[in-house]
Amino acid sequence: MAKYKTTDKIETFDFSDSVISSVVKNLNTLTIYLDNVTILESNEHNREIWDMRSNGVCVEFQNADIDSVIIEGYKLYDANEQLTDIVEDTIVPVSDYNDVFEDLAEAPVFSLKGFKEENTNYFTYEINADGEDNAYCINFHAAHNLVSWDRFLKKSDN
């Protein structure tokens, strides 16, 4: 059991330099395990006056439904900076979600953002991460987010 836990306080973390260890989607829960998560000084458990970090962080999204998983498109240029190809975004079929989750193991996270939807009991989230083969954007909504971890580590830039 984790030593520290927050509920619906995802804004007190910064995931932009974190790395995904694994992603698990069960019937009603999306769980993401991450390393190098920044715990902001505004987090209720952070007793320091600066941001800290942690490894082995579990982020559990309860009553989660994935709205879309997108393989992000890109543009290719030659050595003369001339556009040679455009690859459009691709929507991943639900049947391939587990393949995407496997590709995200050890993937760096660019962002994980969430906001409370007005007049509902749900939060909307977007995760942008760079898998082994592709860059992904995952959009989903969930009733609650639970973040748990065991220890604080000093950030190297403090």
> pLDDT tens for residues 56-112?
999 999 999 999 999 999 999 999 999 999 999 999 999 999 999 999 999 999 999
Give me the number of domains the chain comprises: 1
Q: Among 104, 93, 87, 51, which residue's Cα sits nearest to residue 70?
A: 93
Tell me what the mean pLDDT of segment 111-132 comes to.
90
At residue 132, the pLDDT reads 86
pTM of whole model > 0.85? yes
The whole domain housing 46 covers 4-154
CA-CA distance, 148 to 110, in Å (whole number)? 20
pLDDT at 118 over 60: yes
